[in-house]
Amino acid sequence: MSRFPKPLKRWLILGHRWLGIGTGLFFATWVLSGLVMMYVPFPNLTEAARLAGLPAIAWERVRLGPDAALGFVQLPPDLSLGMRGDAPVYRATLDTGERRVVSAETGAVLGPLSGAEALALVRARGGTGPNPTVTTIHRDQWTVTARYDSLRPFHVVALDDPAGTERSVSQVTGAVALETTRFARGWNWLGSIPHWIYLTPLRARADLWRDVLLWISGIAVAGVLSGLVLGIWRLRLRRPYAAGVTPYRGMARWHHLFGIVGGVALLTFVTSGWLSMNPNRWFSGPSATPAMRTAHAGQASLPGLDALRGLASPGVVEVRFIGLAGQVHAVATDAEGRRRVEPPVSPDSLRAAAARLLPEARLVAAETLTAYDAYWYPHHEIRMLPVVRVRFDDPAATWAYLDPETGEILMRLDRSGRLNRWLFSGPHRLDFAILTRHRPAWDLVLWTLNGLGAGVALTGIVLGWRRLRRSAPSR
C-alpha cells in the first residue's frame, strides 16, 4: 500500500467509509438473522405433515378412472387421486399450468372451494379449537413466492389452538398448501424475512426483488473488500504502533481488529449470498426442465378404472400417476408415507427412462447411492435414500438423481449447478459433511463466524453514526 498514490488511498478510505455507512445495517441484519435461520426455517408444509392430514380415499365412491373423468388421452404433467371433503377427486396440472379438479364420481369439473368448505376440511383434519376463523387472501407474507401462483387465492383458517396454527387452503385445488404456527411466523420476522428482504410488496415482484438484492449485496461486497484491504494495510505486526498492531483507539480499534479476524468470513458470507441470487444467470437450478420431464415420461396414456382396483386398500390417502418411458405407474401412499407402486418400477425400466432424459446425450453411468454424496444431502429437510444417480456426456455434464421406487426425477445438476453448490451452499451455510454430520460442531463454527461478522458490522454502525453526526450541519 505504501507504493499506492495518495489519491487512490484517499478514495479507498472514503469509499470504505461511505459504503460501510450505507450497508452497515444490512450487514448487522444479515448476520444476526442468519443465526435465527439456523433453527427456524421459512414456513413450509412438509410432505410428512401433508400426508398425515389427508383423509383416506372413499374407494366405494370412485366410479370413474382418470381417462373417463378427465376426458382426454395423454397423461398430464401432474395427476393424483385424493379427497376433497368427503368426495374423491382427480387433481391435474395441465401442460398450460392450469390446475383442474374433477370429480372421480361424476366427472364434473369442480369450481372454487368456499370458505365454509375450507373450514370443514380443516376441521376434519383435527386439532381445531372452539372458534376457528377463515380469512380469504390472494397473497400474504407466507405465500408470497411464485410457487403458489397456480393455487391462489387461499382461505387461511386460523385453528384457534394453543400453537396459533394457520392453514392456507387453495381455493383452486381444495387442498392445504401451507401450515404455519405463531412460533414460526414470529421468529421468521427476525430470521428469513429480514435476511432475504422478504417484504411482501417487494417479493411479489420477483425481478425487482432480485435486482434489489443483487445491488445491495454487490455494494456490500465492495464495502467488505475495501475494508479488508485497508485493514491489512493499517496492520503492523513487526513494527507496532505506540498503541499496538493497530493505530486506532476506542471503537475504531475494535472495528479494525474485528475486521482483521472476521473480515474474511464476512466477505465469504456476503459474496456467496450475492452469488445465491444468480447474477447474470450463471447457474442452472436443481429442477428438471419441462423438456426433460416430458422426455422422461414419454407418451403415456391415462389409465382406466381397472388400474386402481389393486390399490384400493383402506389406508391409502393419495394415488399419484407417474409416466415413465411411456408407461403409467400408480403410486399409492398412506398417511405415514408408506408407498406401493403398480406396476413396480424395475431397474431396467428405470434405466431406459433415464436414458431418455437428454435425447441428444449418452447415459454414461447409473449407480445406486445408499449414502449421501456431496450434492444429494439433507439440510433442514429429510432426503430419501437410496437414490439412483445417472450421468450424461452432454456439454454441460448433467447429472440426475432419481427415486428408484417410482422413477421420479428428484434433482438434476449440470456443471454450473455443481459449481454453485461450492460457491454458495458450502461457504454460505457451511454444508460440509465434516461439520453437518457432527453437530454441534456446525453450530459452534457458524456462531463463531457470525459473531465475528456481527462485531465488524456493529462497530462499523457506531463509527458510521458518529461520522454522520459530525458531518451534519449544526443549527
169 touches 155 (CB < 8 A): yes
Q: What is the pLDDT of residue 243?
A: 79
Domain end marker among 187, 209, 231: 187
Residues 261 and 317 in one domain: no
- 196-233 per-position pLDDT tens digit: 999 999 999 999 999 999 999 999 999 999 999 999 88
The domain in which residue 255 lies consists of: 6-40+200-284+441-469
Residue 399's SS3 state is strand
Q: What is the pLDDT of residue 446?
A: 95
Domain membership flag for residue 462: yes
Residues 333 and 302 in one domain: yes
Q: In whole angstroms, give the CA distance from residue 378 to residue 11.
A: 45
Residue 181's SS3 state is coil
Q: In whole angstroms, give the CA distance from residue 277 to residue 283.
A: 10
Q: What is the pLDDT of residue 4?
A: 61
- 267-314 per-position pLDDT tens digit: 999 999 999 999 999 999 999 999 999 999 999 999 999 889 889 889
How many domains are contained in the chain?
3
Residue 100's SS3 state is strand
Residues 254 and 305 in one domain: no
Residues 230 and 125 in one domain: no
Q: What is the pLDDT of residue 472?
A: 72
Residues 309 and 276 in one domain: no
Q: Which of these, 175, 143, 141, lies nearest to 47 by C-alpha position?
A: 175
Domain membership flag for residue 426: no
Beta bridge partners of 358: none
Q: How confident is the model at residue 102 (pLDDT cuts 50, 70, 90)?
A: very high
Domain end marker among 187, 220, 255: 187
Residues 252 and 339 in one domain: no
Domain end marker among 187, 215, 236: 187
Q: What is the pLDDT of residue 458?
A: 95
Residues 79 and 169 in one domain: yes
- 341-387 per-position pLDDT tens digit: 999 999 999 999 999 999 999 999 999 999 999 999 998 788 999 99
DSSP per residue over 322-366, as a string?
EEETTEEEEEEEETT--EEEESPPPHHHHHHHHTTSSTTS-EEEE
Residue 241's SS3 state is strand
- 147-203 per-position pLDDT tens digit: 999 999 999 999 999 999 999 999 999 999 999 999 999 999 999 999 999 999 999
Q: What is the pLDDT of residue 62?
A: 96
Domain membership flag for residue 375: yes
Computed over every residue of the chain, the mean pLDDT equals 93
Q: Is the pLDDT of residue 242 over 90?
A: no
Q: How confident is the model at residue 469 (pLDDT cuts 50, 70, 90)?
A: confident
Q: What is the pLDDT of residue 307?
A: 86
Between CA 371 and CA 376, with CA 374 as vertex, the angle to 5 degrees is 60
Q: In whole angstroms, give the CA distance from residue 364 to residue 59.
A: 44
Q: Is the pTM of this model over 0.75?
A: yes
Quickly count: other Cβ atoms within 10 Å of residue 359's Cβ. 9
Domain membership flag for residue 420: no
Distance of CA 424 to the CA centre of its chain: 14
77 vs 62, 307, 350, 354, 459, CA distance in Å?
22, 18, 18, 17, 53
- Kindly state the percentage of the chain with pLDDT values over 70: 99
Q: Return the beta strands (E) in 94-153 as ranges.
A: 99-103, 133-137
Q: Which of these, 377, 370, 373, 450, lies nearest to 404 by C-alpha position?
A: 370
Residues 102 and 135 in one domain: yes
